[in-house]
Structure 1
Amino acid sequence: MRARIRAGDREAFAALYEEYARTVYNHAFRLTGDWSAAEEVMSDTFLAAWRTRHQVEPEGDSLRPWLLGIATNKARNANRGTGRRLAFLARRPAPEPVADIADTTAGRIDDTRRLAAVQQVLGRLRRQEREVLALCVWSGLDYAQAAEALGVPVGTVRSRLSRARTRLRRLTEEQLGRAPGASGGEPRSGRGEVESRAAFVALPIQEEAR
């Protein structure tokens, strides 16, 4: 697959899109908190992937870290107006009741508002901390894959994730009006997923099937 992508094989690239479009879209949504922005980020990601296909390493396993790395960079650009957007979402009134035939729309509104609430806390983290949480907790990349996606050493991923977990736990407890509790341990060996309630508060967001 890597050789075919590097060679510009359009059928191979179409297969790559079919396999990872949903993953890229969901990652973009988690970083931007906006359905339309996620669509744009996904499109830009695969366009950039096609243009830079010659940069794919000849050896390796999954191409997911490469794609999520591109998507993370595209989401950074999309998030330049994050502060204004989140402030707007925080002021939005509760959505009007939706007819039964619009269950899908109602689900989207609910998911967007829930993610906006989560991002009120996540927004107080540093950008690098949010990105490593999205890659390791939400997308399930291990340390090495996250390091590949972000273009940083594995040790940097570990330290960022550790700081992000600590700060996210503290900020969430402040948000909930509780006294800080005991800190958790390191993620399981070889995985970036964490077990703290603060980190998993964001997980129930409904993913978009593509």
Structure 2
Amino acid sequence: MHDRIRGGDPEAFRCLFEEFSGLVHRHAVRVTGDRALAEDVVSLTFLEAWRLRERLRDEGESARPWVMGIAVNVLRNTTRAARRHRAAMARLPAKDTLPDFASEVVGRMADAERLAAARTALDKLRRSEREVVTLCVWSGLSYEEASQALGVPVGTVRSRLSRARDRLRRLTEEELCKDAAGSSRPRAVRAVTPGPGDTTKGWKR
């Protein structure tokens, strides 16, 4: 199969896409929190895989580490572009807030607040730490597969993941504490005028 992919066999490449496009999409959704952007990442990943098909090696039986390594590089570029876009949008006059796709992504999770805090905390990790967390924890790659995907030794993956888990746990707890403190603040008082038959006296602090 690898020989056929390297040789440019369209049917073999279609099989590669069918096998791994779902994995790339789920990984991209978790990293970006944006389903539309994740679809772009899938397209760019497999366009790049086709361009680089002759570099596919026969290390192991699966092409998963190779595909995910390309996806990681695509995500590095797209997230940089997304940050520049957000910074540009932040300089524009404020408009009505659009719904966040992240809520759709985490909707089926039992503890959405903790996951949201973990996503915020994840953004505070170093890029190298984020990548091993998303590959090994979220996308289920083994240490060896993550090593191939990132082009670093297995020992480096292990040490980065251990360090990242400790930092992620601490930063997540800090985010949860911030959220708890924010929700305990009193809301602004707004007076209302009762209408006919309305027993409401107003909103109290």
Same fold (TM over 0.5): yes
Matching residue of 2:74: 74
- Cα pair 2:8 2:53 within 8 Å, conserved: yes
Please list the CA deviations of residues 177-206 of structure 1 after superposition, one character each: whole Å capped at 9, or x if unmatched. 39xxxxxxxxxxxxxxxxxxxxxxxxxxxx
Task: Indicate the residue corresponding to 1:122 in structure 2.
Answer: 122
The corresponding residue for 1:50 is 50
Match of 1:111 in 2: 105
Distance (Å, rounded) in 1 between the aligned partners of 2:96 and 2:34:
14
After TM superposition, the structure 1 stretch with the greater mean CA deviation from structure 2, 110-119 or 142-151, is 110-119
Structure 1 gap ranges (5+): 96-105, 179-210
Whether the 8 Å CA contact 2:121–2:171 is kept in 1: the answer is: yes
1:63-102 superposed matches below 5 A: 63-80=63-80, 81-82=82-83, 85=86
Change (3 A) 1:33 1:85: farther
AA aligned opposite 1:67:
V
**Contact persistence 1:129–1:160 (CA under 8 A):** yes
1:142 is matched with 142
Shift of 1:112: 6.5
8 Å Cα contact 1:25-1:38 kept in structure 2? yes
Q: Residue deviations 1:82-127, cap 9 Å, x none?
A: 4874997xx98695xxxxxxxxxx9975326867654211111111
Greater relative contact order: 1 or 2 (C-alpha under 8 angstroms, separation 6 or more)?
1
SS for the counterpart of 1:61 is: coil
- CA distance in 2 between counterparts of 1:54 and 1:126 reads 32
Partner amino acid, structure 2, of 1:22: G
Contact 1:133 1:161 in 2 (8 A): yes
| Identity %, equivalent residues | 55
Q: Partners of 1:108 and 1:13 in 2: how far apart?
A: 31
- Number of residue-to-residue matches in the alignment: 166
What secondary structure is seen at the aligned counterpart in 1 of 2:58? coil
Aligned to 1:157: 157
- The residue type equivalent to 1:122 in the other structure is L
Kindly indicate whether the alpha-carbon contact (under 8 Å) linking 1:20 and 1:64 is maintained by their aligned counterparts in 2: yes
Greater CA radius of gyration, 1 or 2? 2
1:60 counterpart SS class = coil
Aligned to 1:27: 27
Q: CA deviation at 1:23?
A: 0.5
Cα pair distance change 1:78/1:92, threshold 3 Å:
farther
User: Relative to 1, partners in 2 of residues 1:126 and 1:109: Cα closer, same or farther, differing over 3 Å?
Assistant: same
TM-score (norm 2): 0.71
Q: Distance in 2 between matches of 1:152 and 1:107?
A: 32
Q: Which has the higher mean CA deviation after the structures are superposed, 156-165 or 112-121? A: 112-121
* TM-score normalised to structure 1 length: 0.70
What is the CA–CA distance in structure 2 between the aligned matches of 1:74 and 1:107, rounded to whole Å? 20
Deviation sequence 1:120-170 (CA, Å, 0-9, x none): 111111111111001000111111100000011111101110110010011
Which letter maps to 1:21?
Answer: S
C-alpha contact (below 8 Å) 1:32/1:82 kept by paired residues: no
Residue 36 of structure 1 and its aligned partner are, at CA, apart by 1.5
Q: Deviation at 1:176?
A: 2.3
Which sections of structure 2, spanning at least 5 residues, go unmatched? 179-205
> How far does the alpha carbon of each residue in 1:27-77 deviate from its partner, in whole angstroms, 9 at most, with x for none?
111222211111111101000000110001134211111111100110011
Tell me what 2:173 maps to. Answer: 173
